[in-house]
Amino acid sequence: MKKVLVTGGCGFVGSHLVDLLLEDKNTEIHVVDNMDTGRIENIKNHSRIKYHFKDIRNILEDNSLVSQLADIKVIFHLGALARIQPSFERPNETVDVNARGTAVVCELARKMGAKVVYAGSSSYYGGVYLNPYSFTKWQGEEICKMYSEVYGLSTAIARFFNVYGARHPKEGPYGTVVGIFERQYEAGEALTITGNGEQRRDFTHVADIVSGLYAMSLGEHDGDIFNLGTGTNYSINELAELFNSDIKYIPPRPGEAWVTLADISKAKEELKWQPNKSLEDYVNEWLQKNER
């Protein structure tokens, strides 16, 4: 039975990846998550999933855990302090978790002879010095590349573009814009748009993200970077219009890119991967299920 590890497997994207991996009945899945942003409701009671509620920075110090992870084949490294705005308040911890934590994961992979599939961020394209989050996710990429160059570790880097879908966070600093709009719509509140709403985002369904991650795990890579997006973007105003609801504009937030738009040609050509989900279809289906 093939053994894989998902760091951050109790989070939004990580839990969907665990669902996909479960479809292969010859896969044993280990999840490491410290539950900082993971959610209890994302934990599944299944004989082929083993949960380890640990901080990724401490993996190598836990001999029992290392023993259980012996012979692991692939590490999907999604564990991180996510999102831009919270990183302004926790810069030192963001560096420690996202950069040093990635080095720990790569060292575990080196010891086990495992591949690493790393969850990067499209915030790279807005500028890696705009905020601590973008900088640290880029540093994680560089650590993966270094391990490939120095140790011959197979590493592949996915840059996510504005992920949405079931289980996305809807509240607080970690909420996605689609999730926040859903919560506000359900509460009968005006949808809040930062700035003038003309900033554009390439919104990517979580099912397309995890299928891309899985495709990346099937080959050998040398720090290769794959954009996981759709190649189409929407303004925040256009997204809000899909909800046909009242809108309220609030001040812009610092550190965010004006436009995200994925060039997915490499992923399509080399991974034979294709995004299949439409933002408009998703919102329309969600509205049908949540009519006010």
Question: What pTM value is reported for the model?
Answer: 0.96
Mean pLDDT estimate for the chain: 96
Confidence of residue 23 (pLDDT cuts 50, 70, 90): very high
Give tens-digit pLDDT for 37-50. 899 999 999 999 99
Question: Average of pLDDT values for 216-240?
Answer: 97
The pLDDT value given to residue 254: 87
Question: Average of pLDDT values for 177-185?
Answer: 97
Q: Is the pLDDT of residue 140 over 90?
A: yes
Question: Average of pLDDT values for 146-169?
Answer: 97
Question: Average of pLDDT values for 188-212?
Answer: 97
Q: Is the pLDDT of residue 30 over 70?
A: yes
Question: Average of pLDDT values for 40-64?
Answer: 96
Confidence of residue 261 (pLDDT cuts 50, 70, 90): very high
Q: Is the pLDDT of residue 124 over 70?
A: yes
Question: Average of pLDDT values for 13-40?
Answer: 97
Say which CATH architecture domain 2-289 belongs to. Answer: 3-Layer(aba) Sandwich (3.40)
Question: Average of pLDDT values for 104-117?
Answer: 98
The pLDDT value given to residue 292: 66
Q: Which of 160, 147, 159, 272 is nearest to 221 (CA)?
A: 147
Question: Average of pLDDT values for 269-283?
Answer: 97
